[in-house]
Amino acid sequence: ILSFTAEFCCGFFVILILGNFWFLGVLYLLWLYHDWDTPCAGGRRFQCVRNWTIWKYFREYFPIKLIKTSELSPEHNYLLGFHPHGVLVAGAFGNFCTGQNFKTLFPGITPYLHITPIWFGCPFFREYVMSAGMVSASKESVSYVLNNKGGGHASVIVIGGAEESLNAHPGSLTLNILKRKGFIKMALKHGAHLVPVFSFGENELFKQVANPRGSRLRSIQERLQKIMGFALPLFHARGVFQYTFGLIPYRQPIHTIVGSPIPVKKNLNPTNEEIEQLHELYLQKLNKLFEDHKRNYGIPEQRCLVFE
């Protein structure tokens, strides 16, 4: 979905450069050069964009709901680990980039959704995603958010990343997390409390072409993902007036559960053992969050999360 919008914005920029208004394109390039580091420095959000009426209809279409299980004190900074990625990452966008739901449930906390840095190289598109509260997923960007000494800032990171979108099949409970420990190190270095977040229904929005690990399709997708920085899942859902085929996501409820914070003491030089210990604790808390709520959202008792 992001790629389609980015391609449109890039196409518009090319037309601008090659057309009669080329001077506007040149001015924008100068602005881009001047503004290049903004996605790593907290971005540039506009509340009016985050409150567009269209986002209300977007959330109600599925619908998307944010559920609070514990208080988050504005005296601390937080690193929220979002799971799973899904194809659209609808729960992350709907809850942390649009509307007032998060602000109402967690007053005093400002969320920043970190996305792949490549998107901020797209002319005009970068302005759009920043206005909604998205920033780069680079270490520099995460550090900028978590360095707020007054507290009240929350980095929202989709831990599984683009690779996990290739597992986004209906019913899938596989999370790419065992080798992903950079977010743990960042939390330790900044003393940011860790908060597991699980979004029930995220993988039910699209049907993806079968791509089991080891298959030719999966190998090609993984190779392209390493080259381009984002994955290319082959998916479909429903159309506008029919339900058999199209790119409009299915109307499946999404319930994003925000877990209890794991207190983290600041440690500028954490050892590998300390990182491993906190990573294991995070996995335990994430699994408990899932187990405590899965019955409410139609997950059979025997189904469990799979960490890989």
Q: What is the mean pLDDT of each run of 10 residues along the chain (308 residues)?
A: 55 65 78 93 95 94 97 97 95 94 96 94 88 96 95 97 92 96 98 98 95 93 83 89 88 97 97 98 98 96 96
Place of tokens 């559920």: 67
Residues sharing a CB contact under 8 Å with residue 201, sequence separation 6 or more, in sequence order: 62, 91, 252, 253, 254, 255, 297
Place of tokens 């993984």: 222
Element (H, E) at 223: helix 216-228
Give backbone dihedrals phi and psi of 32, rounded to 5 degrees, phi first.
-60, -40
pTM: 0.92
Domains (range + CATH), the chain: 1-35 (no CATH), 40-307 (3.40.1130)
Q: What share of the chain is helix, strand, coil (3-state, %, to 5)?
A: 45, 15, 40
CA distance 52 to 284: 38
pLDDT for residue 6: 57
pLDDT for residue 2: 56
Of 172, 153, 129, residue with least CA distance to 80? 153
